[in-house]
Amino acid sequence: MTLATAVLATALTGTPSTATTTPAPSPAAPPPSDRALAAQPARHDLTREQFYLALPDRFANGDTSNDRGGLTGTRMETGFDPTDKKFFQGGDLKGLTERLDYIKGLGTTALWMAPVFTNIPVQNRGDAKDASAGYHGYWITDFTRVDPHFGTNEDLKRLIAAAHAKGMKVFFDVITNHTADTVDYAEKEYGYRPKGAFPYLDDTGRPFDDTAEAPRVDADSFPYTPAATTRTKVPAWLNDPTMYHNRGDSTFVGESGLYGDFFGHDDLWTERPEVVEGMKRIYEKWVEDFAIDGFRVDTAKNVNMEFWTQWATALDAYAEKRGREDFFMFAEAFSADATITAPYVTQGRLDSTLDFPLQSALRNYVSRGGPAGDLAHVLAQDHRYTTDKANAYEQVTFLGSHDMGRIGTFLAQDNPGATDAELLRRDRLAHELLLLSRGNPVVYAGDEQGFTGAGGDADARQSLFASQVPDYLDDDLIGTDRTHATDAFDPGHPLYRMIARLSGLTKRHPALRDGVQIERHVAEGQGVYAFSRVDPRNRIEYLVAVNNAEEPRTAEVPTGAAHQDLLPLYGTRRPLRSGPAGAVTVTVPALSAVVLKARTPLPHRAGAPSLTLSVPPAGARGTVEIGATLSGDPLTRVVFAAQAGNRPWQVLGSADHAPYKVTQNLPADTPAGTPLRYKAVAVDGSGRTAAALGTTTTGENPPPAKPKAERRYVVVHYRRQDGDHDGLRLRTGSVTAEFAGRDSYGAFAWVAPPEGATSLSFTVEKDGVPDGPERVLDVTAAGEVWTRQGSTLLDATRPAAAQLPQDPAKALIHYHRPDGDYDGWGLHAWTGAAHPPEWNDPIRPVRRDAFGLVFEVPLSERARSLSYILHKKEEKDVPTDEALDFRLHGREVWRLAGDPVPLSPSLGGAFPLDLSRRDAVWLDDTTVVWRGAGTGVASQQLVYAPGGIVLTAGALSDEGRWLRLTPATLSADQRARHPGYEDWSAFSLDPRDLDRAAEARRGQLIATQRAADGALLGATGVQLPTH
């Protein structure tokens, strides 16, 4: 970020100075006036709510007659089994209505319910032991009706009316990402098929990008062939299988997070306008028919951002027309990185997100005794949530949930052997930080009763009424001797009483809920974290200090004024007085929080504010930051606005404390060189203003490039007869490389071939002496070869000696760092891992060898891939999540630091990229063969186009139309008729494409192999059948 290229400070009169370094271009429209920007609100919608999250099935049973949802039969038909944590327990809407006073007693102002729509009673993919009921509400079949297990639509209306009568809002949990699993695949396979290797095809067989167009499709257009089951959904359009992505199960890495089935559930094709419109109408109907106050949006991270921009904007407008101007929608975007969560507010136009970054920091600070700097780091990202209609004060904050697990669970896991008294102190501290920090806090039903549990999901969904679930009965609760065998609606529980007390405190002192939050002190390492909360209208300062150490800690904490008396409100009885520099000496007891209130308001500053604007450097693109520095009243607020080209000026939002900054997202279609104009207006506590202008220009967005298989290294495997591979080096010209890798074949080395090289000459040396003849490698044909001592032969096909059976129960990841610094590096894993670790407690290497670290990851049953991140605390080896697809790479890979592409096995096709050759043979009507298989090949197809195709920079000039190929085995009859191809790889034409086979044979025909991202690994001509 640089200083503005033009800075114009204004006085109270608004008259600009003439100071400028570069003349700014004349804007198409003048910027908003100082007065208009100064009038922008500092807070939006909801900033003082206290949520209570309840699953209707697990809260209270008010009507036993609906326990089976009106269904008959066994638990597999009704979904009801009070002894199984994965089945309905009997809770319902009447139970919630009857217990509203209990919820209200905590200080609750908003009830957030898990989904209540009609669900598939039991979901079962053929394995009864994995069967589960739809008790949680996320497997919807009817979006228009309350699930009969919970009651009726009228029961829901009565609940909402009763909650409103008690001063509580009601929020629905809604889903747009997926429905119940009623669409099966004819192939009976469910591994994720990526867009690059398996694009959507229109009804002519042409691949298309669904983010750019929505042509006519049918059931043949998808990677899998969708087939609807007999169970129907409501509304009726949801029964059309072409309204879903149909790509297989998500690995939750990369595009699969958007396009894959969420644990097998039908993933809606939200890129299509029909789905956007359908989902909009579904939830507009609930807004119209029920007096709800907002939505919690499930799995927002698994839906494309463009959907949210359209859907949220439409729902906001619809609610406003019906008198719900403060209708509030907050998103679940499961990430501890604010750069990932914030765009759902700034670009998706939702009002808020569940604050996963803060949850992670709170857990680490309170439960693990982590550094206070973790809290500071997260809160320093608050500007990322600022828009013209939202800011971080609307964030929905929490300690745990029905998905990830309870705070009580985390405390017990992180502190093995801790006494109940210690766990209770930590639990109290967690809730104190939650309720006293910015945002709208959530209490998850049962946390106020000290619930724990073995983990997330079903293990974190204990009922508040007496349970019969054996796993729940084994739980050790915090702060009580009771078990889950009895009801848990105890207002005398120490956590219930503490939460209620803090809620009362924040109600009497609302600055503790949404006052300006100013960081005051951050301990180095463990210890005191302190911040002020100030209502800029009355200027009364509240000082909050917390301590996560197991002994009292004392800190010198700055405040907003010198010689200021601070009176105790919570956690202490000792008043304090600030010194001449405004600092106070605060002692915070172990695992505790203290709150003090200033006796008098903060003084006003004599002079008007002065402001300097900082804008992005020329060449801006993507998400950029705009900042301001100012002098004057510390409670000054800065409002930012921007204009791109001749577009209207847009308010970017306001910042109420230093450092003053906001973000702006520049659309990818913004032309390079577009003028960007900015204005900032500072408003101090006396209403005085100052303003500044600045300009810059946009840069060139890189043009979309076709994926290309980059061959960064050549890998040479070498085997000596005596097995002694120590002291080996590979020499090519003046470059040498150690044979640092070891595998079942022998040793391997890797070198980067010179740019533009087509061949590479090399020798292998042993202790500086040549260990055999010089060899020549064709780098255009193979990136990984095998050779033996004394032989000049190079085999591009992995030999049998290098193909030892792999253990299906574990994955092996070898990790090499050129700097040799392996301290602190670990592996975080989720999809496919038998025991996914916590981020702060990653999988450790089992050993270190000549190559580097070796990680062994036990795999879950039937795992098809492993999703993982190599990291050292917050430092990631590569910025994106990674997925090891066992079908493409096997269960063992060798990785180089900073490179997500495996060093070995390396990508490579069965034939080179050469359209002058014809290495593929169309054997008969439905079969194509070629020699070899390749490595990392995700798909293969025949490509044809009326105008012809050429190779350009490793990609086809035209993707034409596709005939998809599936791996096959030659029949005995085929082997007898074509004995020369007996050992070749065989492929069958996809039956869905056979009607275009004759058309394809009339002209140029190309066989291609693709990597997962669609990069060409091989491209060759096809020998056509003679008949």
For 35, what's the count of Cα atoms within 13 Å in the CB-facing half-sphere? 3
* Stronger pLDDT, 1 or 630, i.e. the higher one: 630
pLDDT for 1027: 58
Amino acid 25: pLDDT: 46
pLDDT of residue 3: 29
What CATH number does the domain located at 913-1023 have?
A: 2.60.40.1130
Question: How far is it, in rounded angstroms, from Cα 824 to Cα 976?
Answer: 59
pLDDT, tens digit (0-9, with 9 covering 90-100), for 970-1014: 999 999 999 999 999 999 999 999 999 999 999 999 999 999 999
- What was the pLDDT predicted at 579? 97
Mean pLDDT value across residues 134-150:
97
Q: How far apart are CA 261 and CA 831, in angstroms?
A: 13
Pick the range with the lowest mean pLDDT from 69-73, 201-205, 348-352, 839-843.
Answer: 839-843
Strand order in the sheet with 110-113: 352-353, 328-331, 294-297, 169-174, 110-113, 51-54, 440-444, 396-397
Q: Is 332 a catalytic residue?
A: yes
What DSSP string runs through 543-568? EEEEE-SSS-EEEEEE-SSTT-EEEE
Q: How confident is the model at residue 10 (pLDDT cuts 50, 70, 90)?
A: very low
What's the pLDDT score for residue 803? Answer: 82
Cβ contact 57:88 at 8 Å: yes
**Per the residue annotation, which of 298, 382, 490, 881 is the catalytic one?**
298
Considering the candidates 34, 81, 332, 919, report the single residue annotated as catalytic: 332
Q: State pLDDT tens for residues 300-326.
A: 999 999 999 999 999 999 999 999 999
Instruction: Categorize the per-residue pLDDT at 756 as very low, low, confident or very high, splitting at 50, 70 and 90.
Output: confident
**Higher pLDDT residue, 632 or 200?**
200
What mean pLDDT, rounded, does the chain reach? 94
CA distances from 467 to 394, 450, 455, 484, 971 (A): 36, 15, 18, 6, 59
Q: Which class in CATH covers the domain with range 805-896?
A: mainly beta
Each residue of 427-465: pLDDT tens digit? 999 999 999 999 999 999 999 999 999 999 999 999 999
Residue 1 pLDDT > 70, yes or no?
Answer: no
What distances in angstroms separate CA 587 from CA 421, 527, 803, one per listed residue? 21, 11, 64
Segment 563-580 mean pLDDT: 97
Instruction: Identify whether 298 is a catalytic site residue.
Output: yes
Taking phi over 0 as left and psi of -120 to 50 as alpha, with beta for the rest, 941 belongs to beta
CA-to-CA distance for 732 and 785, rounded, in angstroms? 15
Domain 509-598 CATH assignment equals 3.40.50.150? no
- DSSP-assigned letter for residue 930: E
Within 821-950, where are the H helices? 886-889
Asked if the peptide bond before residue 905 counts as cis, ω within 30 degrees of 0, the response is yes
Q: What tokens were used for 60?
A: 């209270």
State residue 779's pLDDT score.
Answer: 83
Q: How far is CA 233 from CA 118, 137, 154, in A?
A: 10, 15, 21
Q: pLDDT band at residue 860, thresholds of 50, 70 and 90?
A: very high
- Which ranges of 329-390 would DSSP assign to H, the alpha helix? 338-341, 343-346, 356-366, 373-379
**Share of residues in the chain with pLDDT > 70 (%):** 97
- Spell out the residues 6+ positions from residue 715 whose beta carbon is closer than 8 angstroms to its own: 748, 749, 750, 783, 784, 785, 903, 904, 906
- Which amino acid type is present at position 932? G
Q: What is the mean pLDDT of residues 775-786?
A: 87
Q: Structure tokens of 873?
A: 């605390």
The token pair that represents 515 in the structure block: 């006052």
Contact 532, 517 (CB under 8 A): yes
Position 859, amino acid: L
> What is the rounded radius of gyration, in angstroms, for the C-alpha atoms of the chain?
32
Length of the chain in residues, anyone?
A: 1027
Domain pair 53-175 / 805-896, same fold: no
Average pLDDT over residues 169-198: 96
Query: Cα separation of 652 and 675, whole Å?
Result: 17
Residue 40 token pair? 């922008």
Write the single-letter amino acid at 389: K
Span 190-216, average pLDDT: 96
Q: What is the dihedral of CA 429, 430, 433, 437, to 10 degrees?
A: -170
Residue 1020 burial (C-beta neighbours within 10 Å; 0-12, 13-18, 19+) = buried
pLDDT at 27 over 70: no
pLDDT score of 328: 97
pLDDT for the residue numbered 539: 97
∠ at Cα 809 (805, 812), nearest 5°? 70
pLDDT over threshold 70, residue 24? no
Backbone angles phi, psi at 614, to 5 degrees: -120, 125
Look at residue 5 in the predicted model and tell me its pLDDT. Answer: 30
What pLDDT does 186 receive? 95
Nearest to 112 by CA among 429, 331, 438, 279: 331
Q: Indicate the DSSP class of residue 843.
A: B
Query: What integer pLDDT is reported at residue 16 of this predicted model?
Result: 33
Could you tell me which residues are beta bridge partners of residue 816? 896
Tokens of 449: 């009763």
Place of tokens 């129960």: 809
Q: Band of the pLDDT at 797, cuts 50, 70, 90?
A: confident
CB 894 within 8 A of CB 902: yes
The whole-number pLDDT of residue 464 equals 98
* CATH placement of domain 53-175: 3.20.20.80
Is 497 in contact with 479 (CB distance < 8 Å)?
no
DSSP summary character for residue 391: -
CA dihedral 55, 60, 65, 66 (to 10 degrees): -10
pLDDT one-digit tens code per residue, 111-120? 999 999 999 9
Q: What is the pLDDT of residue 804?
A: 81
Domain locations in the chain as residue ranges: 53-175, 179-269, 509-598, 714-801, 805-896, 913-1023
Let me know how many helices (H) and strands (E) the chain has, helices first: 21, 59
Q: Could you tell me the pLDDT band of residue 831, with boundaries at 50, 70 and 90?
A: very high
CA-to-CA dists, residue 457 to 131, 399, 607, 754, 886, angstroms: 14, 15, 56, 52, 27
Q: Which residue has the tokens 């207002």?
A: 491
Q: So what's the pLDDT on residue 703?
A: 84
CA distances from 726 to 742, 784, 814, 850 (A): 10, 21, 19, 10
Give mean pLDDT, residues 838-859: 95
- Domain 714-801 indexed as CATH 3.40.47.10: no
In sequence order, what are the beta bridge partners of 640? 653, 680
pLDDT above 80: residue 4: no
What does each C-alpha distance from 291 to 153, 171, 319, 396, 886 come to in angstroms?
12, 10, 10, 21, 50
Hey, what are 278's tokens? 């359908």
